[in-house]
Amino acid sequence: MNTTHQTGDLLAPTARAMGVLGEPVPVPEGASDFDRLLAATGRDPHWS
């Protein structure tokens, strides 16, 4: 796990409590790093 992921994991609960982030959404196997990042912030990477 890289430092960016570790920082996100530490800050996510506070950001969710403040309404900045949503709950994580599932991503399929082989999803890109960008799609995983969006999903971790509660955004659906396939929404358009």
Per-residue pLDDT tens listing for the chain (48 residues): 566 666 667 788 888 899 998 999 999 999 998 898 888 889 998 887
The answer, as to whether pTM is greater than 0.85, is no
* Per-residue confidence (pLDDT) for residue 46, from 0 to 100: 84
Q: What are the contacts of 33-36 at 24+ separation with CB within 8 A?
A: none
Closest CA to 41 of 14, 22, 13: 22
* Per-residue confidence (pLDDT) for residue 7, from 0 to 100: 66
* Per-residue confidence (pLDDT) for residue 48, from 0 to 100: 72
**Would you list the DSSP string of the chain?**
--HHHHHHHHHHHHHHHTTSS-------TT--HHHHHHHHTT--TT--
* Per-residue confidence (pLDDT) for residue 5, from 0 to 100: 64
Q: Which two tokens stand for residue 35?
A: 């799609």
